[in-house]
């Protein structure tokens, strides 16, 4: 029997449909309008930190072309536009007096969204810490809570009269693990001596950011977002199942459970978590790490399959890659599995203290195929179709899901992968900055108008 075609109208008239971008990945204008360097600017300047030694350059030049991109959102039919604020543009010294040129820019973006009847969905922190603060210790510093509180209050005061949808942190597990443990992302630090305090300070800032927004914008809808991946054991062997449990605690539970007042996650005989809890004196700060957010954002791209491996430090596990299991995967080697998207969403929905969920990022990178001078990205369309079909099933099951934001509008700077991955619904010519809608963009346009 042929399955029913999913329609946008099936999700209800109040469902949020949007796209997400980020300041560091899209804005460009590195030293324009008083902006100082972020940790990603300085990290990418170093040799061999970015794939093929690429540099960030002008990115998508969203700073100058934001109206074009918001117009594209409107043309496709999205009612929500998620973007992040550059801490370095708003507070070039990391703290202190705001840069009014930066404030003016974001006011223009917000006002243009509202003019086009698009909800501005603002992320406070999407990985681009001012480098001046990293020189003072960054996310490992005991002063981070004060720095972040001042930044949050500044943004709330200047934008809270019009922005009512806020995300405090984007994927804290991502920027702490990749940036302060594995050294793959900015600022490039390695080891638990940086990782442990970065986790703790991030947890404190996550909750405090929510409290500051609530104080300054009583009618705001406030959330934070988590990267998440359903963790499959590679076999039914007890050691593989335990390996999956350990990774699940680090990938999916480490930042949400303290936020919900549950403290650090516990896994039997997982010494790494025990050391983390003792090092950070978590029992003293349990209440400070908790906040009742209005929603939690989930960002899912792929599941992970793991097996026990005693030689791997700390977690004693390693991933079994999709290509080695003969399952479909994207151009970045990420497994395509909409069923796992449903499983991880259900896992988060089981937490009693999460009132609402929003899918704040979901998408896939594929090599663009040119057919008759058009970008015929059929695989991306198939990815979205399968995941939206799964999402509708979740809604039918009664999960409190209020929206879906695709990643991303335009091909952009994808962190240490540079400009090689293509996630966008819109292609950007790297030389001219010309925007060209892909077939997936036209597909979304048809989908959202049905």
Neighbours of 439 (CB within 10 A): 18
Distance from C-alpha of 138 to C-alpha of 141, rounded to nearest angstrom: 6
3-state DSSP assignment of residue 393: helix
Residue whose entry in the numeric block shows the structure tokens 């001046």: 132
3-state DSSP assignment of residue 441: helix
Distance from C-alpha of 205 to C-alpha of 145, rounded to nearest angstrom: 6
Residue 2 region by backbone torsions, left for phi larger than 0, else alpha for psi between -120 and 50, else beta: beta
Neighbours of 66 (CB within 10 A): 22
Distance from C-alpha of 447 to C-alpha of 22, rounded to nearest angstrom: 24
3-state DSSP assignment of residue 243: helix
351, burial (CB in 10 Å: exposed 0-12, middle 13-18, buried 19+) = middle
Structure tokens at 385: 């179709």
Our CA dihedral for 320, 324, 330, 334, rounded to 10 degrees, sits at 0
- Inter-residue contact 365 to 421 (CB < 8 Å): yes
CA gyration radius, the chain: 21
Residue 48 is given by DSSP the state T
Distance from C-alpha of 218 to C-alpha of 213, rounded to nearest angstrom: 8
Residue 202 region by backbone torsions, left for phi larger than 0, else alpha for psi between -120 and 50, else beta: alpha
Structure tokens at 3: 């399955």
What is the set of active-site residues?
Answer: 171, 361
The interaxial angle of helices 192-216 and 271-279, nearest 10 deg, is: 60
């Amino acid at each position: 029997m042929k399955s029913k075609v999913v329609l946008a109208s099936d999700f209800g008239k109040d469902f949020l449909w949007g796209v997400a971008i980020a300041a560091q990945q899209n804005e460009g204008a590195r030293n324009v309008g008083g902006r100082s360097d972020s940790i990603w600017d300085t990290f990418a300047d170093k040799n061999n930190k970015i794939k093929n030694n690429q540099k960030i350059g002008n990115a998508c030049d969203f700073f100058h072309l934001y109206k074009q991109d918001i117009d594209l959102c409107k043309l496709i039919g999205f009612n929500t536009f998620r973007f992040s604020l550059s801490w370095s543009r708003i507070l070039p010294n990391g703290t202190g007096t705001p840069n009014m040129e930066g404030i003016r820019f974001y006011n223009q973006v917000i006002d243009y969204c509202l003019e086009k009847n698009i909800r501005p969905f603002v992320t406070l922190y999407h990985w681009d810490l001012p480098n001046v603060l990293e020189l003072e210790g960054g996310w490992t510093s005991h002063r981070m809570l004060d720095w972040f509180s001042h930044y949050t209050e500044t943004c709330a005061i200047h934008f809270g009269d019009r922005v009512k949808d806020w995300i405090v942190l984007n994927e804290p597990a991502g920027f702490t693990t990749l940036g302060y443990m594995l050294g793959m992302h900015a600022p490039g630090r390695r080891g638990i001596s940086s990782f442990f305090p970065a986790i703790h300070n991030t947890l404190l800032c996550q909750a405090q950011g929510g409290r500051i927004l609530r104080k300054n914008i009583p009618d705001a809808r406030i959330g934070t977002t988590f990267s998440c991946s359903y963790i499959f054991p590679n076999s039914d062997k007890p050691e593989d199942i335990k390996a999956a449990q350990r990774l699940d605690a680090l990938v999916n539970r480490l930042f949400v459970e303290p936020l919900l007042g549950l403290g650090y996650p516990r896994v039997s005989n997982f010494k790494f978590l025990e050391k983390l809890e003792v090092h950070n004196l978590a029992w003293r700060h349990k209440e400070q790490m908790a906040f009742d957010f209005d929603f939690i954002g989930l960002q899912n791209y792929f599941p992970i399959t793991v097996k026990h491996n005693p030689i791997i430090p700390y977690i004693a596990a390693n991933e079994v890659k999709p290509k080695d299991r003969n399952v479909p995967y994207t151009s970045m080697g990420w497994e395509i599995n909409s069923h796992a998207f449903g499983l991880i969403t259900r896992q988060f929905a089981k937490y009693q203290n999460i009132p609402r969920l929003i899918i704040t990022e979901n998408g896939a990178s594929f090599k663009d195929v040119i057919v008759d001078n058009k970008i015929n990205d059929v695989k991306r369309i198939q990815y979205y179709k399968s995941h939206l079909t799964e999402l509708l099933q979740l809604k039918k099951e009664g999960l409190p899901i209020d929206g879906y934001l695709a990643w991303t509008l335009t091909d952009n700077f994808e962190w240490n992968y540079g400009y090689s991955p293509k996630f966008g619904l819109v292609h950007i010519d790297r030389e001219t900055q010309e925007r060209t809608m892909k077939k997936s963009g036209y597909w979304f346009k048809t989908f959202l108008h049905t």
